[in-house]
Amino acid sequence: MTELKTETITINMGPQHPSTHGVFRLILTLDGETVVDVEPVVGYLHRNHEKIGEKNNWIQNTPFTDRLDYISPMSNEFAYVLAVEKLAEIEPPERAKYIRIIMVELNRIVNHMIAVGFLLNELGCFFTPMFYCLRWRELVVDLYEMTAGSRMMPNYFWIGGVSADLPEKFLPECKEFVDAVPGFIDELERLLTDNEILQMRCRNVGVLPPDVAVEYGCTGPLLRASGVPYDIRKAEPYSIYDRFDFDIAAGTVGDVLDRYLVRIAEMRQSAKIVEQALRDLPEGETATPKKRKFRPPEGDVYHRIEAPKGELGFYLVSDGSENPYRYKIRAPSFVNLQSLPYMCRGHKIADVVIIIGSIDITMGEVDR
């Protein structure tokens, strides 16, 4: 029997589509329900972030970094602040360092909550896991609001410290939250990890072999799920990460299921780190004296951290003036997104959606 002649159709998925995580457009070429080719189109949320960064002075840039990956603002600030501190050789006080770690790891928990929640939502669970995750996120966001004054755009990290000391109520509430995190994750896992439909949907979908993942420059949970236990917190410990005891979660196959499990395992590890940081939190100053502007020495610097989504790096060039001469961001979502066409080819249209969900992108960071 001769093979049936079929025509491919081209579908525009996005920029307004319920599950493309913002204004992201995919041009899908489909053969029936099977994806033949994927062409991502980015740039709908471009807002000149890097150019604005050159116009602002060094200090004014911190609130703008909040808007990069708006799910994990603290991590963005952390990367920028560390880069500037490296350039200007400023050493923040001990207490500030610990506070930063607490904030950033809480942020990782939040980010993974959202990533997992939206992934499950895209699998079709009519918002239930998403609402649970958002509810838990709300608790952390309340902690941010209590400390920094703002829920999503905290602007909390100051070059040379943090903008304010922790409020009185923070420590007990944070402790309570961290103690409760394993319970939350257990509930989330009970809800769906063993679910037959989820296992069927996620298993062997969007497999990214370790060598391909490395070649695409993938980082973060995406790379670790492929079986490469690479984590900048361990590989190149920045700030005070060498003082904490935690493990890197790595997957075995590199499919959507592994990414889901790795994120869940990382949440547990983050809770562990916050617990240690709360235990060791020293007393003392939280910031070096505040200035309106300052001039770092001439030179350039690249500093990278393990943001929840992967390697977040800031490349800053200083010409000795009060503005950066060049301000470049290596955004993890953007780099990770490049592996999307590779993962999608040959799968069904429904898989494309969950593969995007499993990469965990934020368009604010992809387009900048």
Partner 1 sequence: MEAIQGILEFIDQIFVKLSFWFSAQLANFLPDWGVTFIMMFATVLVLIVFGLASIIWINVFERKIIGRIQDRYGPNRFGPWGLLQCVADMIKLLTKEDVTPTKADRLIFNLAAVAPVIPTFMILAVLPFGRGMVAADLSIGYLYIVAVGCLGTIAIFMAGWSSRNKYALLGGMRTVAQMISYEIPMVLSVVGVLLLVGSLSMVSIVEAQGQWRLPFVVLQPLAFVLYFTAAVAEVNRSPFDLPEGESEIVAGYHTEYSGIKFAMFLLAEYINAFSICAIATTVFLGGWQGPILPSWAWFFIKTYFLYFVLIWMRGTLPRLRVDQLMNFSWKTLVPLALANLMLTALVAKLVPQYSHVGAIAFLVMNVVVIVCIALVKYPRWRRDRREVVLVPRTATPQVDSS
Partner 2 sequence: MLGFGILKGMSVTLRRFVDTYVGDLGKFPWRYRSRPVYKRMGITERGAFTIQYPEERVAMFPRYRGPLMLLTDPEKGITRCIGCGLCERTCPTESIKVTRAEEKVDDQRVPETYEYDMNTCMFCGFCVQICPQDALGHSPELEMGTYSKGDALILNLDQMLELGRKHAPGGVWPLEKEAEPS
The one-letter code for the residue type at 365 is E
Residue 241 DSSP label = G
For 125-136, letters b (16+ CB in 10 Å) and e give beeebbebbbeb
Burial class of residue 194, CB neighbours in 10 A (0-12, 13-18, 19+): exposed
Q: What are phi and psi of 251, to 5 degrees?
A: -90, -175
C-alpha angle 3-7-13 in degrees, rounded to nearest 5 = 135
Pick between residue 128 and residue 321 the one whose CB is nearest to partner 1. 128
Stretch that binds partner 2, among 30-38, 187-195, 213-221, 324-332 (CB under 8 A): 187-195
- In the three-class reduction of DSSP (H, G, I as helix; E, B as strand; rest coil), residue 146 is classed as helix
Pick between residue 89 and residue 194 the one whose CB is nearest to partner 2. 194
Residues of span 117-136 touching partner 1 by CB under 8 A:
120-128, 131-132, 135
Q: Furthest-apart CA pair in the chain: how many Å?
A: 81
**Mask 268-297, x = binds partner 2 (CB under 8 A)?**
----------------------x-xx----
**Mask 48-77, x = binds partner 2 (CB under 8 A)?**
--------x--xx-xxx-------------
Q: Are 24 and 362 in contact (CB under 8 A)?
A: no
Site size with partner 2, rule: CB under 8 A: 42
- Is residue 258 involved in binding partner 1 (CB under 8 A)? yes
Cα–Cα distance, 155 to 151 (Å, whole number): 10
Q: Are 115 and 360 in contact (CB under 8 A)?
A: yes
Pick between residue 38 and residue 59 the one whose CB is nearest to partner 2. 59
Which residues in this chain contact partner 2 in the complex, by CB under 8 A?
A: 56, 59-60, 62-64, 128, 132, 135, 138-139, 142, 145-150, 153, 155, 163-164, 167, 173, 176-177, 180, 183, 187, 190-199, 290, 292-293
Which residues in this chain contact partner 1 in the complex, by CB under 8 A?
A: 9, 11, 17-19, 32-33, 120-128, 131-132, 135, 191-192, 195, 197-201, 203, 210-211, 214-215, 223, 228-231, 234-235, 247-253, 257-258, 261-262, 265, 348-351, 353
